Amino acid sequence: MYGSILASYSIGENNQVSPQALVWLSAGLNSDISSSRLKLASVFYSTGDMEKAELILRHTEQQYYSYPVLPICGCYIHPQEAVTEEFERLCGEQSENCIKHITTFCVRFIQGEINCVPHELQYEMFRSTQDDMIHRDEDKDCWMDWAVVDSLPFLYFLQYKIYCHLQRHQDQQQALGKLIRTIETDKNLRHRETALNILGQCMEQENRPQVALKCYMLSLRQRARNNVANIHLCKLLSGLLVSQ
């Protein structure tokens, strides 16, 4: 986190990542299989270095499917993890140091890292209205002031945005398809509402407002309060009315 805070500051100053920030970012790359690498890819994306970001994402995706990977999230209390027999077997056979290679944390950005975050995800830092704040636990819900997303949806979202910039349309559509399938099939997602919110914004970029509307409505079914889908809905509907 310290590395991305430094990177956010330097990006805000001159749209570059300072050498010191890169040292800190590199030092944390092996904390788990993907979340730290995804933050580094997001940093490069934010500076416009699409080639480096794409390379990191490609390597991370390969690593992700080398072993059965279990997402780990400490943001809130949720039902017991759907641990597979294969994952339990690997945990029994591997040392504690090796377990980090088959686990992945959700990707967290605090507000001090905002310049390292794609603008579609920045909205998540401002999810709570004044009325929502009444329904928050001051100690347990601090994560609601951050941008937090599960690793695999974020990987495919970044791929979608990067391939758009690189004008690789076929790869972009493949990334979008993988994002959709992950949201539909991955039972271990802990921030499904956030994944639906960024998918909705992809659908707006695709000029598919009806599908985007469905994404935001599904997001609100996952979390009715403290969900920036309310803002996305208002913006989308306002835009549709203006275009009439």
- In the chain, the DSSP E strands lie at 70-72, 103-105, 107-109, 147-149
The answer on pLDDT for 146 being more than 70 is yes
Q: With contact defined as beta carbons under 8 Å apart, do 175 and 163 qualify?
A: yes
Residue 38 — pLDDT band, cuts 50, 70, 90?
Answer: very high
pLDDT of residue 119: 96
Amino acid symbol at 96? E
Q: What is the pLDDT of residues 167-208, one digit of tens each?
A: 999 999 999 999 999 999 998 899 999 999 999 999 999 999
Residue 242 corresponds to which amino acid? V
Q: Which residue has the higher pLDDT, 226 or 69?
A: 226
Report the C-alpha gap between 50 and 44 in whole angstroms: 7
Alpha-carbon distance of 44 to 54, in angstroms, equals 9
Tokens of 159: 């791929």
pLDDT at 51 over 70: yes
The pLDDT tens digits for 64-112 are 887 777 778 888 876 545 555 555 666 666 655 666 777 888 999 999 9
How many residues does the structure list for the chain? 244
* pLDDT of amino acid 214: 97
Handedness of CA 149, 153, 154, 160 (dihedral sign): negative
- Least trusted range by pLDDT, from 19-23, 54-58, 163-167: 19-23
